[in-house]
Amino acid sequence: MSAAILIFTLSCGFIAYVLIGYPLLLAIYAKLFPKPIRKQFAAVPLSIIIPVKNGEHWIEAKLNSLLQSHYPRELIDILVVSDGSSDRTGEIVKGFGDSRVRLLELPPGGKATAVSKGLANVNREIIVLTDVRQPFDSSALSRLVACFADPNVGVVTGQLVIREGNSLEEYNTGLYWKYEKWIRRNHNRVDAMLGATGAIYAIRREFAQSLPSDTLLDDVYLPFVAAMAGARIYFEDSAKAYDFPTSLNTEFRRKVRTQAGIYQIIARFPQLLSPGSPRFVHFVSHKVGRLFLPFALGAMLVSSFWLPHPLGLIALSGQLAFYAASLLDPFVSEDSRVKRITGVARTCLVLVGAALCATTVFFLPAQRLWKETAVGLAKTSVDTETGRQ
């Protein structure tokens, strides 16, 4: 019984620390010890790389958002890297009629290979990497570049703004993203960023090295290359790109890939687990801690059966109610007030479950974890100057 109490207490404490305690402590620390950077815009030549596979629905809008930005047009060079696209992506790019847009067509090889080939075919000092689906705000490029006025900055990432969802499921997924961005802003204030946003980030050419072909997270791998060389990763949240909301199933698949990618990052940057690393506490608390959440939940559930009465009954009842709410959520009407509870429970459980499924990276080829992101087409337009719908 004493062992059960200990396991239950440690499991609860661990879950509370990872999800609530660490973010709150980080917020306090960031407020007390901020580390700002110097910003000043000076136009420099930019290379923009867009790796894409079957992006015919998005590529035209993406290119237009970049070419119509408030950045000197003669300083922009865009390279679209088509990773074995079988749709009209290549045809659309070739027919775009703008000398600033180039196309590199490759056989299917995965995103990491496409990024590496793209990096090998550009030569400008600042390189912007982005995905095909998310259009840029017209000021995004300028705001990214302004941060490189600080010589210590090696990578600058922007903010991915998720448009309002059309269902509570999409709304709850959006809430999760807001929580993530709150943590990211506090990481940024204390020079503890743990990666970039793949849809919008820029990097100095000296840190833009080729990636291992099975890399799942180029937007974490390349920033850590810079960080390990002593450069800063900076989050400029005024540099915005816009994306459509996704379903929970889509978010689950994305989360499986990103969590599996953290296992890769640990293997390739083992110094992150050294107490001497300036990112040790942040990486272990935020990234590694989340990998262990499903195991902590399992330990909490199993140990509850051996807790003394009535604590065991209370603990089991609470956990079973949580799991029951998650399982019932798909059958609850969108108009029901109960959906506010079941939806949040299901979202939490699905995202934690993704961490458990991420362990498949030890048994399957990494490329098997890549799935095309399914999104609903926007039902409203977005003003890219303001982000309003």
Asked if residue 333 is part of any domain, the answer here is yes
Sign of the CA dihedral with 348 first, then 351, 354, and 356 last: negative
The values of phi and psi at residue 55, to 5°, are -110, 30
Q: Which of 193, 210, 245 is the last residue of a domain?
A: 245
Sign of the CA dihedral with 12 first, then 14, 18, and 20 last: positive
When pLDDT is cut at 50, 70 and 90, the band that residue 371 belongs to is low
Asked if residue 318 is part of any domain, the answer here is yes
Mean pLDDT, all residues of the chain = 91
Asked if residue 389 is part of any domain, the answer here is no
pLDDT greater at residue 316 or residue 97:
316
- Asked if 234 and 314 sit in the same domain, the reply is no
- Asked if 281 and 142 sit in the same domain, the reply is no
- Asked if 155 and 50 sit in the same domain, the reply is yes
- Asked if 206 and 110 sit in the same domain, the reply is yes
In this predicted structure, what is the pLDDT of residue 368?
Answer: 64
- Asked if 166 and 196 sit in the same domain, the reply is yes
When pLDDT is cut at 50, 70 and 90, the band that residue 248 belongs to is confident
Number of domains the chain contains:
2
Quick check: 383 pLDDT over 50?
A: no
Q: What is the pLDDT of residues 179-226, one digit of tens each?
A: 999 999 999 999 999 999 999 999 999 999 999 999 999 999 999 999
Structural contact between residues 272 and 283, judged by C-beta atoms closer than 8 angstroms = yes
Quick check: 376 pLDDT over 70?
A: no
When pLDDT is cut at 50, 70 and 90, the band that residue 370 belongs to is low
When pLDDT is cut at 50, 70 and 90, the band that residue 166 belongs to is low
Tell me which residue range forms the domain holding 297: 1-33+269-374
Q: What is the pLDDT of residues 57-78, one digit of tens each?
A: 999 999 999 999 999 999 999 9
- Asked if 74 and 183 sit in the same domain, the reply is yes
Both tokens of residue 41?
């815009």
Asked if residue 149 is part of any domain, the answer here is yes
- Asked if 199 and 321 sit in the same domain, the reply is no
Asked if residue 109 is part of any domain, the answer here is yes
- Asked if 138 and 26 sit in the same domain, the reply is no
- Region 250-269: mean pLDDT is 93
Can you tell me the distance from the alpha carbon of 188 to that of 123, in angstroms, rounded to the nearest whole number?
A: 28
In this predicted structure, what is the pLDDT of residue 389?
Answer: 28
- Region 33-37: mean pLDDT is 97
Name the β-bridge partners of 126.
46, 204
Structural contact between residues 201 and 128, judged by C-beta atoms closer than 8 angstroms = yes
- Asked if 224 and 314 sit in the same domain, the reply is no
Quick check: 167 pLDDT over 90?
A: no
Can you tell me the distance from the alpha carbon of 230 to that of 74, in angstroms, rounded to the nearest whole number?
A: 32
Q: Which SS3 state, helix, strand or coil, does residue 167 take?
A: coil
- Asked if 96 and 204 sit in the same domain, the reply is yes
% of residues, the chain, pLDDT over 90 = 78
The CA-to-CA distance between both ends of the chain, in Å, stands at: 56
- Region 40-67: mean pLDDT is 96
- Region 332-347: mean pLDDT is 86
- Asked if 124 and 194 sit in the same domain, the reply is yes
H/E stretch holding 346: helix 339-357
How large is the angle between the packed helices 248-268 and 339-357, nearest 10 degrees?
30
Asked if residue 26 is part of any domain, the answer here is yes
Global pTM?
0.89
